[in-house]
Amino acid sequence: MKTLFLSILILFFTYPLVSAEPDTNYFPLAEGNYWVYEDQIEIQDPQGNFEVENKYIGEKVKVKRINQLRTLKVLSTEIRGDFKIAKMQEEGTPEGTITFFYVVDNKNGRIYSYSNEQIKMILPDNNDVSIEGSPEYIFPLQVGSKWGDPESLERKDKMYFSYVEKLEDVTVPAGTFKDCFKIIHYTLPDETIQWFCPNVGVVRLEYRHHGTITDLISELKEINYGE
C-alpha cells in the first residue's frame, strides 16, 4: 500500500515453497466484502504528549499516539483466465482514501499487490495479465512455510523473508479466531508480525520500527461479507 498501513499489511517479499493445491478462499476477496480495523499508532515526535523509553537508543523520547478506524473494502472484481483482479479501497489513512489492486493467481495460489500506476503495466489490455514482482501471500499456508527472494531464504538469522511460525488463537474486538497463522517478517530496520485467519484475512498485525519509534497495532473490529 502506498501508505504506512497498507505497506506493513502486505510487505512480504515472496518466493513460493508450497506445492499443495491452493485454497483461494483463504482471502475472501469478493466484491462488497470489507474489513474494519482499530489502529493504535505511536510515532516519535518532539511535540508529542507522551514520554516513553526507546530501547533501541537507550533514551526516553516523546511520542504522539493516534487511535483510529481504518476500512479496507473490495470495490470490484474481474476474472481473466486463471487470474482474479480485485480493486481495493482503503479509508481512514493519513492520506485519506486510496485505492490499489490485488491480483490473485488462482492456479498457483499467489496474491500480488499493485498500485494504480503499476496495474497499468500488469493489465496492458483487456485480455492479458503480465505479472511482475513477488507475491504478497502464497496459499495454502502451513506451519514452517517460508517465502522471499532465493538469496534471503539462505540466511540463517531468519531475516528478510517471511515465515509461518505457528498456529495461535487470537482474540480481537471482532471476536476470537481459532488456528490463525502467525507470520513473521524481520529486517534490520523493522519487524512485522501478523495473524492470518483462513477465510477471514488478517485479524491482528503488529509493526515496530527499530530506531525512531513508528509502531502500529491493528486489530480486526468487524468483517462483512458482501452487501
pLDDT digits (tens, 9 = 90+) for 44-81: 999 999 999 998 888 999 999 999 999 999 999 999 99
- Looking at residue 84, its pLDDT comes to 94
Q: What is the CATH number of the domain that holds 78?
A: 2.40.360
Total domains in the fold of the chain? 1
Q: 99 in helix, strand or coil?
A: strand
pLDDT at 12: 31
Could you report the per-residue pLDDT of 178-206, keeping only the tens digit for each? 999 999 999 999 999 999 999 999 999 99
Range of 175's domain? 4-224
Lowest mean pLDDT among 114-128, 179-193, 202-216: 114-128
Q: What is the pTM of this model?
A: 0.84
Q: Nearest to residue 33, comparing CAs of 199, 176, 217, 171?
A: 199
What's the pLDDT at 227? 61
Residue 14 pLDDT:
30
What pLDDT is stored for residue 15 in this prediction? 30
pLDDT band for position 3 (cuts 50, 70, 90): very low
Distance CA(218)–CA(40), nearest Å, equals 6
99 φ, ψ (degrees, to nearest 5): -125, 150
Confidence band, pLDDT 50/70/90 cuts, at residue 21: very low
pLDDT band at 87 (very low <50, low <70, confident <90, very high): very high
The answer to whether the CB of 190 falls within 8 A of the CB of 212 is no
How many beta carbons lie within 10 A of that of residue 160, not counting itself?
16
Looking at the DSSP assignment, which residues form a beta bridge with residue 27?
none
Residue 141 pLDDT greater than 50, yes or no? yes
Name the band, by pLDDT with cuts 50, 70 and 90, for residue 6: very low
- The three-class DSSP label of residue 108 is coil
Residue 137: beta bridge partners? 111
Total residue length of the chain: 227
